[in-house]
Chain A
Amino acid sequence: MSSIVIQLLNGLASASALFLVAAGLSLIFGVTRIVNFAHGSLYMLGIYCAYSLIGAFGVTAWSFWGGIVAAALAVGVFAALVEIALLRRIYRVPELFQLLATFALTLVVKDLALWFWGAEDLLGPRAPGLRGSVEILGSPFPEYDLVLIAIGPLLMGALWLLLNRTRWGTLVRAATQDRDMVAALGINQAWLFTAVFALGAALAALGGALEIPRQPAQLSLDIAAISDAFVVVVVGGMGSIPGAFLAALLIGEIKALCVAAGLSKLTLVVEFIVMAIVLVLRPQGLLGKPWETLRSAGSDVEALRPYGRASSAEAIVAVLILAALPLATTGYTLVLAIDIFVFALFAASLHFILGPGGMVSFGHAAYLGLGAYGAGLLLVKAGWPMEAALFAAPLAAAAGAALFGWFCVRLSGVYLAMLTLAFAQIAWSVAYQWDSVTGGSNGLVGVWPAGWLFSRTALYLLTLALCAGAIWLMRRALSAPFGYALRAGRDSPLRADAIGIDVRHVQWVAFTAAGAAAGLAGGLYAFSKGSISPDSTMAISRSVDALVMVLLGGVQTLSGPVIGAAAFTWLQDEIARNTDYWRACLGGTILAVVLLFPRGIAGALQARFGSKEDAA
């Protein structure tokens, strides 16, 4: 019994830090509608800054607590500068595009931290005066954790007062409800946004800095923190601070109890299981209010028209030129091109639901992975011929997408996105843990294509044919009645419903079809690499890559995802080869694209050369 009490206290302590990070993310999203992917980086910066600031003055109670507060302030100022220099310029562009900017920011911050603080983990000091433990029910419990347990509710109270008892808080809440109205009433939105972003960032950094006695500063913290924070925010209900607190408690406690009950393996994924259950049963999160529908990605987009002859001809010519490429070279260019084709198909499949469908997926890698594992397992374990295994890849992914999609299409906006993420993480953890079948974290090796594809040229041509064919099919579907129904459901679910379109059904079919296309990409990926592992196919980073590709190319054009995939894959390859700090360079390049072409590369080309037929 006493050990359960201690474990509940452990859960409370973990929940405090989690709450601070999530509260900041929730605030930022609520007001600016920015999905701040860099939130984990701000958390990480908080730990690093606190480490340096405390270290600079010798460890005393003053320098410890002062250092923590100063770290939060410093990161807040940094975030304010970022908001002014970068985000402020892109509020008016289609939503989600800011996600691209904040993703690029994570890359830059990570390399900055590596350059400034070095690669070695930095273990901070213990809190002066709180080094030891107190006896609770016969077990020693760290004093500092008791302080953490108190800090969480205190800060929640302070935030509540700030938001509910100050004029500034009223404005923030008003902006959360209707930011156009706030602007119409003469409030300077720009500074409100800056202040909220800085406050959210300072909270993340504070959450990080407070972990200093419990957690060494390391460069992998950003990714670790961001997914946890998103989960907490969504489980609690976007924009709800008490909800974030409740969700942090729930997840902190469940994790601690899993460890106590000997189910430690479950901690890999338990928060995503919780999120999936909450979203399925209560789509707006625990304490979230039913949210007025988010303006979808396509709301300010011109209508899509069927392809003109010209753009069809252009596409055919492009494919023919690519098909002739092996005549010019059989070298590495083909290897890179195979990757580009696979990712182009993967990105196009995401765009299929994201652009015309208005369904953002944060977990699209699940279907890449299901395709890859479907093909890989049938080849390696069941001994199927490679051709049959590849044929099965889209089917396996479609089955998974049909199952997950059935739940996902019942939601919309960020909730839908997070449910896709939850399912993707669950699929990932199954692949990661089920050693006897999937090969666990190592994955499967020996997934090589059949003999006739051993030549690079043959594999290249097959990949080109299948990817181009699948992309063409998706384009066809979008200019068929099905595509119109899908867009109708995106732009006005009510009216679509009124004219007899079963919006959910159409979305579900689109989701499944997109899954199948991603699965084909996954199958091709597996056979072009010879091996698959959970991290190379299903990890969050893969899903993020796909989003980045789509956004980089431009959401509103059909050629966007293809161009984005090509640009991203090529850039990463080129930059990683030529510089040590390739992540910062890649991030910087993406930032430049964001600022110069806020509608993506293809969007910019279209604006410049004005072919309207390609608009989605």
Chain B
Amino acid sequence: MMKAGREAFVSGVVLAVASALAQPAAAQEPIKLGELNSYKAFASFLEPYRKGWELALEEVNAAGGALGRRIEIVSRDDNGNPGDAVRVAEELLTREKVSFIMGTFPSNVGLAVADFAKQRKVLFLASEPLTDKIVWDNGNRYTFRLNASTYMQTAMLVPDAARLKKKRWAIVYPNYEYGQSATRAFKELLKKAQPDVEFVAEQATPLGKIDAGAVVQALADAKPDAIFSSLFAGDLARFVREGNTRGLFKGREVFNLLAGWPEYLDPMKDEAPEGWYVTGYPWYGITTTEHRRFLEAYQMRWNDYPRAGSVVGYATVIAAAAAIRKAGSLDSEKLVEAMKGLKVDTPFGGIVFRALDHQSTMGSYVGRTGVKDAKGVMRSWKYADGAEYLPLDAEVRKLRPAE
């Protein structure tokens, strides 16, 4: 911290001198940042996300921007495809001359852009891709990730799962990286906490095409005591409805990653599941000052309530602005150094981008679902600080390749 502070001070002085010497016109030129995301392919998460970052951008600029300059964001659709995303990132860097890039949603796009950032030696602030690999197995110097990862969100549910002492577990997950990692992490962590646990059924469903009736029946046939699911969006809604009709959830505890996100909970309306353990975002109940301020500003600006995506989008831009201020420069290497240990105030409270693995400590809310006024809500939730749900530093070092 000392070192970072001194660097910030030194670069601050340099900046002061530089800006004194600079032409007034040049000082007016905005700082350009690049943002790319799969806006069309994953619209239900990313529309609120866009509203979130637009709000943050307005606030940042109203407060004077960074380095005495306005910040401008050039946003692009990456078509949900890693190949297109790399081209878009090239375009942002080469034609738009952005200082760094941020965004992305699916894991494969996030990883492709992260590797591109490493190759081009430019900062990449990965806002949403949940894959653990982006900071661990494939981690690199130039990539930082904001949202709580698959591993972290899974780890947040494990204490409750272990406390219940259920022996027979069934697992259902969307058959791609996120679901596979969540399943792997859950099995590993639960086994550690409760060695006698048995995993009696595992269903890997094609993403977006769950055959809900058959899957529910197969899970019921395995007679589990509890179920762990990482389904989301349409797959989740289908699973819940079939499961309710077929009585799968009667007398069984269910754990479901992300199911408390308004994006995925709200479409189920009064059929939202009762008593599931989930990670999510109970925007209606959080009373911290940071969140209340965010909520008011968001509702004022958009006349809509925030979703999890809104918070991620908002925090991304706040973090980006903080990094520029701390670096006092738009130089990639300085920005990377500034990102290490960067503290950011988000609607969820203060977070830190860990120097160790470039993962932020942004957490998530953990609680149980219920239905109130014909709408799905989270009850008896608490905030799980991301910092507490990461593996030991020594393990992380082993996972991450040397720079």
Contact = CB atoms under 8 A, between A and B. Distances in A.
Contacts of A118: 47
Contacts of B111: 442-443, 445, 531
A114 B47 CA distance: 11
B18 to A, nearest CB: 27
Given A114-B43, A530-B112, A531-B111, 16 more contacts: A111-B40, A120-B266, A140-B247, A214-B242, A218-B44, A264-B175, A268-B206, A331-B94, A336-B87, A435-B180, A441-B177, A442-B131, A536-B112, A541-B81, A576-B77, A580-B39
Sort A-B residue pairs by CB-CB distance and give the 8 closest, nearest first: A119-B43, A531-B112, A536-B83, A259-B214, A441-B176, A445-B115, A332-B95, A10-B213
A2 to B, nearest CB: 9
B86 interface: yes
Nearest to B247: A140
Given A7-B217, A267-B206, A533-B82, A123 B237 contact: yes
25 contacts: A10-B211, A123-B267, A132-B245, A133-B245, A139-B246, A142-B246, A214-B212, A218-B233, A224-B208, A255-B211, A256-B211, A256-B214, A259-B218, A264-B203, A264-B218, A267-B206, A332-B90, A443-B108, A443-B112, A529-B82, A529-B86, A531-B116, A532-B83, A533-B112, A576-B79
Given A255-B211, A442-B133, A530-B86, A260 B76 contact: no
B217 A139 contact: yes
Nearest to A331: B94
A98 B209 CA distance: 28
A264 B205 contact: yes
A215 B238 contact: yes
B86 A214 contact: no
B119 A530 contact: yes
Nearest to A143: B245
Contacts of B190: none
Nearest to B248: A140
A335 interface: yes
B333 interface: no
Contact of A531 (B76, B86, B211): B86
Given A332-B90, A332-B95, A335-B94, A120 B208 contact: no
Interface in B2-17: none
Contact of B246 (A120, A140, A529, A580): A140
Contacts of B175: 264-265, 268, 433
Given A259-B214, A260-B214, A339 B245 contact: no
Nearest to B201: A262
Nearest to A435: B180
A348 B182 CA distance: 42
A270 to B, nearest CB: 10
Interface in B190-238: 201-206, 208-209, 211-215, 217-218, 220-221, 233-234, 237-238
A351 interface: no
Interface of B, helix, strand, loop or mixed by DSSP? helix
A62 to B, nearest CB: 22
A530 B180 CA distance: 24
B63 to A, nearest CB: 27
Contacts of B119: 448, 530
B83 A525 contact: yes
B268 interface: yes
Contact of B87 (A220, A339, A432): A339
B177 A11 contact: no
B82 A267 contact: no
B166 interface: no
Interface of A: 3, 6-7, 10-11, 13-14, 110-111, 114, 118-123, 126, 131-133, 139-142, 145, 213-216, 218-220, 224, 255-256, 259-260, 262, 264-265, 267-268, 331-332, 335-336, 339, 432-433, 435, 440-443, 445-446, 448, 525, 529-533, 535-537, 541, 572-573, 576-577, 580, 582-583
Interface in B33-83: 39-41, 43-44, 46-47, 76-77, 79-83
Size category of the binding interface on chain B: 35 or more
B230 to A, nearest CB: 14
A431 to B, nearest CB: 12
B247 A260 contact: no
A354 to B, nearest CB: 23
B138 interface: yes
B218 A260 contact: yes
Interface in B94-127: 94-95, 107-108, 111-112, 114-116, 119
A121 B247 contact: no
A139 B213 CA distance: 12
Contact of A7 (B77, B202, B218, B234): B218
Contact of A121 (B79, B116, B221, B237): B237
A574 to B, nearest CB: 11
Contacts of B242: 142, 214
Most buried by B among A132, A445, A577: A445
Contacts of A525: 83
A265 B204 contact: yes
Nearest to B113: A531
A255 B206 CA distance: 11
A7 B245 contact: no
Contact of A123 (B77, B94, B247, B271): B271
A508 B150 CA distance: 46
Contacts of A580: 39
A445 B112 contact: yes
A136 B242 CA distance: 15
Contacts of B203: 259, 264
A446 B115 contact: yes
Nearest to A569: B87
A6 B94 CA distance: 58
B125 to A, nearest CB: 18
B247 A133 contact: yes
B91 interface: yes
Contact of A216 (B76, B94, B177, B234): B234
Nearest to B116: A530
Given A529-B83, A531-B112, A119 B245 contact: no
B269 A123 contact: yes
B255 to A, nearest CB: 19
B95 A120 contact: no
Contacts of A533: 82, 108, 112
Contacts of A142: 213, 242, 245-246
A335 B233 CA distance: 35
B213 A14 contact: yes
Nearest to A218: B234
Given A132-B245, A442-B108, A442-B133, A335 B238 contact: no
Given A332-B91, A445-B111, A576-B77, A531 B82 contact: yes
B385 interface: no
Most buried by A among B83, B206, B213, B221: B83
Contacts of B247: 133, 140
Contacts of B128: none
A584 B114 CA distance: 30
Contact of B263 (A120, A265, A535): A120
A264 B215 contact: yes
Contacts of B95: 331-332
Contact of A119 (B47, B83, B107): B47
A121 B47 CA distance: 13
Contacts of A446: 115
Contact of A535 (B108, B180, B212, B221): B108
B108 A582 contact: no
A580 B40 CA distance: 9
A545 to B, nearest CB: 10
B138 to A, nearest CB: 6
Given A440-B177, A445-B138, A529-B83, A13 B94 contact: no
Contacts of A224: 208-209
Given A121-B233, A531-B116, A573-B87, A10 B238 contact: no
Given A218-B233, A332-B94, A442-B108, A7 B214 contact: yes
